[in-house]
Structure 1
């Protein structure tokens, strides 16, 4: 039996998250990101970080206001130009990039398993983990490709190879944190009775994705320092 207070907290958290994502989307219409792939990344980040994601967007990632042609050569800047900001900010933004692909993949996979009842070896939980990773990896590589390929001037094949190299470890680190939390949800806190049709489920997944962000952050730090990923 899920306590009423937890259901209320979950609903409020989801409302705050969707509201934060909506505010970012509205602002992006006026101030699109210089790197186009970051336009979906910031709203998706707000879906699990909520108001913290909104703060991070305004404090760390918001683009400069578009200027008229005669002013475009003067005083223009962008918050997330990796050349003029602290390394921890570049790593944070790179981690949001990784987290967005994982989050979107996880959402798709969770609903797919829930609505189809798909089960590998008789386990829907095992199916969730497998499909979460597959969808997260696919979308993560796509997100990574559209950042690395333009920055390095790579073609399709080389861009995909570079994206896989850059995203495999960071994505895996994110999923390790998330999957660990999902195991606690399943085997310690709620058993097999909590499903994606409950707001509590997605509140718990928000927590899991924040944990995933925490586990992928040091990996992104290492990958950028090693030159495997680009600073965002």
Structure 2
């Protein structure tokens, strides 16, 4: 069922949803900022450098859950934590490596989505008369580019690969993963456009748009997780 609408996007969002949106977005930004400070300001840098970017980006849609996961399985991998505690961290539960791999994929997708959504909106781009289709194409292309770069920065150093072979292996590890992430997100975006706010549509200049996108990214995480389990088991993707 569509939410109440009027001609003005500011009027079509119920007060409770607007309030919840501001709380969720503010919490996510604060969590991401804290992670940046803890990783780089306090020098709890992960051994895999790209994870220093992945953790704050993950907080942009998982909020406090990302901090909880970081304190359990991210910070203990840093040299500083191990010096402070005089030991290496215990092995995580079996589901954690796949979850970290999914967050790694999700970070590239999330950054690509944010850039593409604003780009499509500001430039007024449409494909076949559809803004949503333009968002799909922009999101996927940028997610693919960033996802492969993120995966290259993880795989190439661990396997000692050159640039060309590293890119090939990164693509093998990430294309299926990020596609499954985007399938979940794109399905949710279709609901946003055709069911929740069919006319007028919400746009990236509205806080509720990004709150709903947070939900979509969590859904994308869930649809990508089983694929990451399979990729890691097959040795196509490295444990993070």
The CA deviation at 1:221 is 0.1
The CA deviation at 1:87 is 2.5
Alignment pair present for 1:230 and 2:232: no
The CA deviation at 1:229 is 0.6
What's 1:55 paired with? 68
What's 2:192 paired with? 185
The CA deviation at 1:65 is 5.8
Aligned-partner Cα distance in 1 for 2:93–2:76: 17
Alignment pair present for 1:213 and 2:221: yes
What's 2:92 paired with? 85
The CA deviation at 1:176 is 0.4
Specify every segment of 5 or more residues in structure 1 that has no aligned partner in the other structure, as ranges: none
Alignment pair present for 1:194 and 2:207: no
TM-score, normalization: structure 2? 0.90
The CA deviation at 1:75 is 3.5
What's 1:123 paired with? 130
Kindly provide the CA deviation profile for residues 85-127 of structure 1, in whole angstroms up to 9, marking residues without a partner as x.
3331111111110000000000000000000001112211100
Aligned-partner Cα distance in 2 for 1:99–1:195: 22
The CA deviation at 1:231 is 1.2
How has the CA–CA distance of structure 1 residues 78 and 148 changed in structure 2, closer, same or farther, with 3 Å as cutoff?
farther
Please, which of 31, 35, 54 is the counterpart of residue 41 of structure 1? 54
Aligned-partner Cα distance in 2 for 1:168–1:64: 27
Alignment pair present for 1:170 and 2:181: no
Kindly provide the CA deviation profile for residues 38-72 of structure 1, in whole angstroms up to 9, marking residues without a partner as x.
001000000000111111111121145645xxx96
The CA deviation at 1:198 is 0.4
Aligned-partner Cα distance in 2 for 1:77–1:156: 31
TM-score, normalization: structure 1? 0.93
Aligned-partner Cα distance in 2 for 1:184–1:10: 17
Alignment pair present for 1:159 and 2:170: no
Alignment pair present for 1:106 and 2:113: yes
Specify every segment of 5 or more residues in structure 2 that has no aligned partner in the other structure, as ranges: 1-11
**Count of equivalent residues:** 225
What's 1:145 paired with? 152
- What is the aligned-residue RMSD (CA, Å)? 1.7
